[in-house]
Amino acid sequence: MKNHAWRPLAVAIGAIALLLSVRATVVPSDFGVNGKNFTYGFHRKGSIDDWKSFKVKYRGKEYCRDCHEEKVAENMSSPHKVIECENCHGPAVDHPDNPAKLAIDRTRALCLRCHAALPYPQSHRAEMPAIDPDAHNPKQACVECHNPHNPNLEAM
């Protein structure tokens, strides 16, 4: 091999050596699925206790049902039944210990996250009831006319 071919080969070998040494120092030894091989996942045996002590932020509709049975029942009979309460009301991490923590978002922007007209015929997004925000009651909150728990009913 000629001399000009050895330099790029040396650089490539050096880069691979650098990458392997950085990998050996950065990646924890217990990271991976199958022990000491090259199969990686998002699980690390050393973090099990960390995850057990992690405070749950989202609790789901079953948690809300205990105190808000009427609102959950109303929601379950509407097209919004597939949406968790916390998507609109925020995480229930400290509720009911701190009821003020769950501020109700009544902004138009919240509704438009799902109901702004978007021309995506290849997705199911085009099948959702949508509005043109510039033409449909601009600058007016959606909850003034629509019940967010059951949009088929009039406003609260």
Going by C-beta distance under 8 Å and a sequence separation of 6 or more, which residues neighbour residue 98? none
pLDDT confidence bin for 38, thresholds 50/70/90: low
Residue 36 predicted with pLDDT over 60 = no
Whether 86 and 92 have beta carbons less than 8 Å apart is answered as yes
Alpha-carbon gap, residue 156 to 148, rounded angstroms:
9
At 91-120, the pLDDT tens digits run 888 887 877 777 778 889 999 888 888 777
pLDDT of residue 155: 61
- pTM for this entry: 0.58
46 contact partners, CB below 8 Å, separation of at least 6: 28, 30
CA atoms of 111 and 137, how far apart (whole Å): 13
- The confidence score (pLDDT) of residue 59 equals 87
